[in-house]
Amino acid sequence: MNTTIYRNRPVRSPIQPRKHPVEKIREKMGDPTREDNLMRQEVRKLCGTYNLSATFSEDVSSLELLKTPGLIAIKCVLSKDGKPVGIGHGSSVVSRINKGIERSIFGCLNGALMSAVNSACKTLDALRLEAAENRASVALGEAYRARGTDESAPATERQREYLKQLLQTHPDEEVREHWLSNLDVLTKSEASEAISRFAAR
Protein backbone atom coordinates (compact mmCIF):
# COMPACT_ATOMS: atom_id res chain seq x y z
CA MET A 1 0.00 0.00 0.00
CA ASN A 2 1.38 3.36 -1.03
CA THR A 3 1.21 6.17 1.49
CA THR A 4 1.37 9.82 0.54
CA ILE A 5 3.35 12.08 2.77
CA TYR A 6 2.21 15.67 2.86
CA ARG A 7 4.64 18.32 3.94
CA ASN A 8 3.47 21.67 5.12
CA ARG A 9 4.96 24.52 3.15
CA PRO A 10 4.78 28.08 4.36
CA VAL A 11 2.17 29.84 2.27
CA ARG A 12 1.92 33.61 2.37
CA SER A 13 -1.51 34.92 3.17
CA PRO A 14 -2.97 36.98 0.31
CA ILE A 15 -3.65 39.81 2.76
CA GLN A 16 -0.19 39.71 4.32
CA PRO A 17 1.95 42.56 2.98
CA ARG A 18 5.12 41.55 1.20
CA LYS A 19 7.04 44.21 3.06
CA HIS A 20 6.45 45.51 6.52
CA PRO A 21 5.12 49.12 6.43
CA VAL A 22 8.16 50.27 8.40
CA GLU A 23 10.46 48.83 5.72
CA LYS A 24 8.54 50.74 3.05
CA ILE A 25 8.88 53.97 5.05
CA ARG A 26 12.62 53.38 5.45
CA GLU A 27 13.01 52.82 1.72
CA LYS A 28 11.02 55.96 0.99
CA MET A 29 13.18 57.97 3.38
CA GLY A 30 16.37 56.86 1.62
CA ASP A 31 19.94 57.31 2.76
CA PRO A 32 19.97 59.20 6.11
CA THR A 33 23.34 60.80 5.29
CA ARG A 34 21.96 62.62 2.24
CA GLU A 35 20.97 66.26 2.60
CA ASP A 36 17.70 65.71 0.69
CA ASN A 37 16.63 62.81 2.94
CA LEU A 38 12.89 63.22 3.73
CA MET A 39 13.30 62.54 7.44
CA ARG A 40 16.09 65.09 7.75
CA GLN A 41 13.94 67.66 5.94
CA GLU A 42 11.11 67.09 8.43
CA VAL A 43 13.55 67.31 11.36
CA ARG A 44 14.93 70.61 10.08
CA LYS A 45 11.40 72.02 9.74
CA LEU A 46 10.61 71.36 13.39
CA CYS A 47 13.97 72.23 14.97
CA GLY A 48 14.66 75.67 16.35
CA THR A 49 15.77 77.69 19.35
CA TYR A 50 13.52 78.37 22.30
CA ASN A 51 14.33 80.90 24.99
CA LEU A 52 12.88 79.27 28.08
CA SER A 53 12.97 80.57 31.62
CA ALA A 54 12.37 78.56 34.78
CA THR A 55 10.92 80.27 37.86
CA PHE A 56 11.07 78.38 41.16
CA SER A 57 8.94 79.19 44.20
CA GLU A 58 7.59 77.55 47.31
CA ASP A 59 4.60 75.37 46.53
CA VAL A 60 2.40 76.95 49.19
CA SER A 61 -0.79 75.18 48.11
CA SER A 62 0.90 71.76 48.55
CA LEU A 63 2.27 72.78 51.96
CA GLU A 64 -1.18 73.91 53.12
CA LEU A 65 -2.92 70.86 51.69
CA LEU A 66 -0.56 68.14 52.96
CA LYS A 67 0.58 69.71 56.28
CA THR A 68 3.23 66.98 56.64
CA PRO A 69 5.97 67.75 59.22
CA GLY A 70 9.30 68.32 57.49
CA LEU A 71 7.68 68.70 54.03
CA ILE A 72 9.59 70.62 51.36
CA ALA A 73 7.49 71.57 48.30
CA ILE A 74 8.70 73.57 45.32
CA LYS A 75 6.88 74.72 42.19
CA CYS A 76 8.59 75.42 38.86
CA VAL A 77 6.93 77.45 36.10
CA LEU A 78 8.59 77.07 32.71
CA SER A 79 7.93 80.02 30.38
CA LYS A 80 8.60 80.78 26.73
CA ASP A 81 8.72 84.46 25.79
CA GLY A 82 7.08 85.32 29.14
CA LYS A 83 4.16 82.92 28.59
CA PRO A 84 3.90 79.83 30.87
CA VAL A 85 4.15 76.56 28.95
CA GLY A 86 4.59 74.07 31.79
CA ILE A 87 4.21 73.79 35.56
CA GLY A 88 6.06 71.23 37.65
CA HIS A 89 6.10 70.22 41.31
CA GLY A 90 8.82 68.68 43.44
CA SER A 91 8.56 67.60 47.06
CA SER A 92 10.43 65.75 49.75
CA VAL A 93 10.18 65.16 53.49
CA VAL A 94 13.08 65.70 55.90
CA SER A 95 13.18 62.83 58.38
CA ARG A 96 15.61 60.48 60.12
CA ILE A 97 15.94 58.57 56.83
CA ASN A 98 16.47 61.70 54.76
CA LYS A 99 18.48 64.12 56.93
CA GLY A 100 20.25 66.31 54.36
CA ILE A 101 18.23 69.52 54.07
CA GLU A 102 20.25 71.01 51.19
CA ARG A 103 20.27 67.71 49.32
CA SER A 104 16.49 67.45 49.77
CA ILE A 105 15.97 70.99 48.51
CA PHE A 106 18.19 70.39 45.47
CA GLY A 107 16.27 67.19 44.78
CA CYS A 108 12.99 69.14 44.95
CA LEU A 109 14.33 71.86 42.63
CA ASN A 110 15.48 69.29 40.07
CA GLY A 111 12.28 67.28 40.39
CA ALA A 112 10.15 70.40 39.89
CA LEU A 113 12.20 71.38 36.82
CA MET A 114 11.90 67.92 35.24
CA SER A 115 8.19 67.87 36.00
CA ALA A 116 7.77 71.30 34.35
CA VAL A 117 9.73 70.22 31.28
CA ASN A 118 7.63 67.06 31.03
CA SER A 119 4.38 69.03 31.24
CA ALA A 120 5.69 71.62 28.74
CA CYS A 121 6.46 69.03 26.05
CA LYS A 122 2.90 68.88 24.68
CA THR A 123 2.62 72.67 24.65
CA LEU A 124 5.95 72.95 22.83
CA ASP A 125 4.79 70.29 20.34
CA ALA A 126 1.71 72.39 19.61
CA LEU A 127 3.85 75.55 19.21
CA ARG A 128 6.25 73.76 16.85
CA LEU A 129 3.38 72.45 14.70
CA GLU A 130 1.75 75.88 14.64
CA ALA A 131 5.03 77.48 13.54
CA ALA A 132 5.49 74.81 10.83
CA GLU A 133 1.92 75.36 9.58
CA ASN A 134 2.47 79.13 9.52
CA ARG A 135 5.66 78.66 7.49
CA ALA A 136 3.80 76.32 5.12
CA SER A 137 0.94 78.79 4.60
CA VAL A 138 3.43 81.64 3.98
CA ALA A 139 5.21 79.44 1.42
CA LEU A 140 1.86 78.59 -0.17
CA GLY A 141 0.95 82.28 -0.36
CA GLU A 142 4.28 83.04 -2.01
CA ALA A 143 3.71 80.19 -4.46
CA TYR A 144 0.28 81.60 -5.36
CA ARG A 145 1.75 85.07 -5.82
CA ALA A 146 4.51 83.63 -7.98
CA ARG A 147 1.89 81.68 -9.91
CA GLY A 148 -0.09 84.87 -10.39
CA THR A 149 2.88 86.63 -11.96
CA ASP A 150 3.56 83.55 -14.07
CA GLU A 151 -0.04 83.57 -15.33
CA SER A 152 0.54 87.00 -16.91
CA ALA A 153 3.36 85.53 -19.01
CA PRO A 154 2.65 84.79 -22.68
CA ALA A 155 0.63 81.65 -23.45
CA THR A 156 2.70 78.56 -24.15
CA GLU A 157 2.94 76.99 -27.59
CA ARG A 158 1.03 74.00 -26.29
CA GLN A 159 -1.83 76.20 -25.02
CA ARG A 160 -2.04 78.05 -28.34
CA GLU A 161 -2.09 74.81 -30.35
CA TYR A 162 -4.79 73.24 -28.22
CA LEU A 163 -6.90 76.39 -28.28
CA LYS A 164 -6.50 76.51 -32.07
CA GLN A 165 -7.82 72.93 -32.34
CA LEU A 166 -10.82 73.79 -30.15
CA LEU A 167 -11.60 76.90 -32.21
CA GLN A 168 -11.52 75.02 -35.54
CA THR A 169 -14.83 73.36 -34.59
CA HIS A 170 -16.47 76.45 -33.08
CA PRO A 171 -19.73 77.22 -34.97
CA ASP A 172 -19.56 81.01 -34.59
CA GLU A 173 -17.21 82.29 -37.27
CA GLU A 174 -16.86 85.75 -35.71
CA VAL A 175 -15.79 84.28 -32.33
CA ARG A 176 -13.49 81.83 -34.08
CA GLU A 177 -11.76 84.55 -36.11
CA HIS A 178 -11.46 86.86 -33.11
CA TRP A 179 -9.65 84.26 -31.00
CA LEU A 180 -7.53 82.92 -33.83
CA SER A 181 -6.29 86.40 -34.70
CA ASN A 182 -5.33 87.07 -31.06
CA LEU A 183 -3.62 83.77 -30.28
CA ASP A 184 -0.15 85.29 -30.35
CA VAL A 185 -0.93 87.97 -27.74
CA LEU A 186 -2.76 85.80 -25.19
CA THR A 187 -1.40 85.39 -21.68
CA LYS A 188 -1.25 82.03 -19.91
CA SER A 189 -4.20 83.02 -17.76
CA GLU A 190 -6.33 84.11 -20.73
CA ALA A 191 -5.45 81.00 -22.72
CA SER A 192 -6.27 78.75 -19.77
CA GLU A 193 -9.64 80.45 -19.30
CA ALA A 194 -10.47 80.19 -23.01
CA ILE A 195 -9.49 76.52 -23.14
CA SER A 196 -11.76 75.78 -20.17
CA ARG A 197 -14.65 77.63 -21.80
CA PHE A 198 -14.33 76.12 -25.29
CA ALA A 199 -13.49 72.60 -24.11
CA ALA A 200 -16.67 72.55 -22.01
CA ARG A 201 -18.80 73.58 -25.00
132-170 residue pLDDT tens? 777 766 655 565 555 554 557 888 888 888 888 878 877
User: What's this model's pTM, rounded to 2 decimal places?
Assistant: 0.52
More confident: 116 or 26:
116
Separation in Å, CA 195 to CA 143, 188, 190: 23, 10, 9
Long-range contacts, 61-68 (Cβ 8 Å, 24+): 62/89, 62/91, 66/91, 68/93
Rg (CA), the chain: 34
Band of residue 129 on the pLDDT scale cut at 50, 70, 90: confident
